[in-house]
Amino acid sequence: MEIVNRRLTLAEFRGLIATFDFGPISPDKLVIHHTWKPTQATWAGQRSINGLKAYYEGKGWPAGPHLFVAEDGIWLFSPMNKDGIHAGTLNFHSIGIEVVGDYDNEVWSGQTKANALGVIKVLMDRLSIPQGQVFFHRDVSPKTCPGRAITKEWLFAELATVRVMPRIPRLAEDGPLSISAPVPSTNPSTFVPVPEWAMEAVRFVTDHQLFEVKNDDDIRDAVKFHRFYQLIQSSHG
Ligand SMILES: [Zn+2]
């Protein structure tokens, strides 16, 4: 079985997905799982991935789920441009997402929660997947997967509050004082010159993962936020 075997941060995952080639027919649904075992406590990163690979190979499967989402990051497992094997009839044109842990009695928490919500949001946005196409394994299986504590009501309420880690502004090729600032309703490839003090503010909100900077309004918000922060700092300093 071939696996991608890379561990990404959520920001890296977002960057990957932005330009990822999902193949001739894009996935049109997500299937959420939990590993049950390994639990969060017994997850051991690369060793766990190796163990899971051996487990699926032992079943004679040519593929497994696409992603394992854990405290230590987002592990790319089976390639996302091919169908995986994880959910029977839902294997076709879906992305299988395993959240590491046992969620029969508790909901996601910590970095696992942030990573899981972020991954789901990034994929829903990029692939235009509506809520009705976000499945749980138990929708087609007698298992409790992705855990009894995880309900769609809870998941979609949580997703509504998620701000995915900001994209690092892309520097324009013609100079360091421009960032790509697509204005949604006009020309998406317009490059708007931004002075260095505004770039500093953009870097501030980006580094602190406050919000995503993707248009002029976001840049203005970043500048306001940064000035406000500086004011507070100076009044305490
Ligand atoms: Zn499952």
Domain spans in the chain, listed from the N-terminal domain onward: 6-161, 178-236
Query: If you write DSSP's letter for every residue of 217-229 in order, what string do you get?
Result: HHHHHHHHHHHHH
Q: How far is the CA of 98 from the centre of ligand 1 (A)?
A: 7
Q: Which of 148, 50, 164 is nearest to 101 (CA)?
A: 148
Cα 63 to ligand 1 centre (Å): 14
pLDDT of residue 210: 84
Are 30 and 133 in contact by the 8 Å Cβ rule? The answer is: yes
Centre of ligand 1 to C-alpha 32, Å, is 7
115 DSSP β-pair partners: none
Mean pLDDT of 94-106: 98
Query: 218 CA distance to ligand 1 centroid (A)?
Result: 38
Choice between 203 and 41, residue whose per-residue pLDDT is larger: 41
CA of 203 to the centre of ligand 1 (A): 39
Span from the CA of 80 to the centroid of ligand 1 (angstroms): 17
For residue 19, report the distance from its CA to the centre of ligand 1, in Å. Answer: 28
Model confidence band, residue 169 (pLDDT cutoffs 50, 70, 90)? very low
| pLDDT cut 70: percent of the chain above it | 86
Q: How far is CA 54 from CA 48, 62, 87, 88, in A?
A: 10, 11, 19, 20
Is 237 a residue whose pLDDT tops 70? Answer: no
What mean pLDDT is predicted for residues 149-167? 85
* pLDDT > 90? residue 117: yes
In this structure, CATH architecture of domain 6-161: 3-Layer(aba) Sandwich (3.40)
Instruction: Give residue 172's pLDDT band: very low, low, confident or very high (50, 70, 90).
Output: very low
Distance 35 CA to ligand 1 centre (A): 7
The 10 Å CB-count burial string (b at 16+, else e) for 135-158 is: bbbbeeeeebbbbeebeeeebeeb
Element (H, E) at 123: helix 110-127
Q: How far is CA 175 from CA 170, 196, 199, in A?
A: 11, 11, 13
- Tell me the two tokens of residue 209: 């993962």
Q: In the structure, what pLDDT confidence band is assigned to residue 173 with cuts at 50, 70 and 90?
A: very low
Q: What is the pLDDT of residues 205-218, one digit of tens each?
A: 888 888 888 777 78
